[in-house]
Chains A and B, each alone.
Chain A
Amino acid sequence: AQSVAQPEDQVNVAEGNPLTVKCTYSVSGNPYLFWYVQYPNRGLQFLLKYITGDNLVKGSYGFEAEFNKSQTSFHLKKPSALVSDSALYFCAVRDMGTSGTYKYIFGTGTRLKVLA
C-alpha cells in the first residue's frame, strides 16, 4: 500500500536560515512525488514535483526538494527562509500506475513557522 509520512507536525526556523521539511514515502513501484503549500483559507498550491531524472528538483518561490531512492525520502528545502513562507506544507505520492490505482496519497502536513 502507498503511504506518506511527514514526521514533524511543526518546524520553526529563523528568517534567513535554511529550512528543511521532511517527507518519506512508500509505494510499490516507482513514485511520483509532489509538494503542495496551503495558506490559511486558501486552496493547496503546487510547489514542485519529481517524475524522473535529476534527484534535485527546483520549484516555485525558491523551494527545492531532493529525491533519495535509497532512503525513500523527498525532503523540501529552501536556502534562506522568509516570514512569508510560513504555511502548511503537504507531501504527496502517487504510484506510477503499476498497482492499478492512480490515487494520490497526502501526508498529514507540516506547519512551517518562520520567525522574524
Chain B
Amino acid sequence: GAGVSQTPSNKVTEKGKYVELRCDPISGHTALYWYRQSLGQGPEFLIYFQGTGAADDSGLPNDRFFAVRPEGSVSTLKIQRTERGDSAVYLCASSLNGPTSGAETQYFGPGTRLLVL
C-alpha cells in the first residue's frame, strides 16, 4: 500500500516569504507527527496530531510555525516570515494509533527539503 507522502520534495524560498508543506499519511492512521531534521542532526519533534487536534505542539519553535489537520488525514505545516535558520528537511510520520495507546510504530515520509535564501 501507499506510504506517507510529502510535497513538495524540495522548496526554495526567499527570506520573509510564507511556505506550506503538505503531508499525506497512510490511510487510516489516526496519529500524525511533524519533525525537523537539520544537517548532521536527528529528527527534532515539532507537533503531534491525534485526529484533527494538535495533542502536543510543544516542539514548534515559535509562533511563525503552525500546522493543521482539518479532516484528520492530510496535514499542512505552515511557516510564516521564513528565516535562513528554518532551512532543514521537514519530515512527516504517521502511526495507526497515537502514543497514548502504547509504543506504536511511526512510518516516515521522504521529507521536504526547505532552503531559505
Binding site for B on A (CB under 8 A): 4, 32, 34, 36, 41-46, 49-51, 90, 92, 94, 97, 101-109
Contacts and interface: CB of A to CB of B under 8 A. Distances in A.
A108 B41 contact: yes
Contacts of B48: 102-103
B103 A102 contact: no
Contact of A102 (B42, B56, B110): B56
Nearest to B9: A41
A107 B109 CA distance: 19
A46 B42 contact: no
Contacts of B91: 43-44
Contacts of B56: 101-103
A99 to B, nearest CB: 12
Contact of B106 (A50, A104, A105, A107): A104
Interface residues of B, number: 29
Contacts of B14: none
Contacts of A105: 45
Given A104-B106, A106-B35, 19 more contacts: A4-B42, A32-B103, A36-B108, A43-B3, A43-B109, A43-B110, A45-B108, A46-B105, A46-B106, A49-B103, A49-B105, A51-B102, A90-B43, A102-B55, A102-B98, A103-B45, A104-B43, A108-B42, A109-B42
Interface of B (DSSP majority class)? loop
A106 B43 contact: yes
Report, nearest first, the 10 A-B pairs whose CB atoms are least far apart.
Answer: A106-B42, A102-B99, A43-B108, A32-B103, A44-B108, A51-B103, A43-B110, A106-B43, A103-B45, A46-B105
A102 B32 CA distance: 12
Contacts of A36: 108
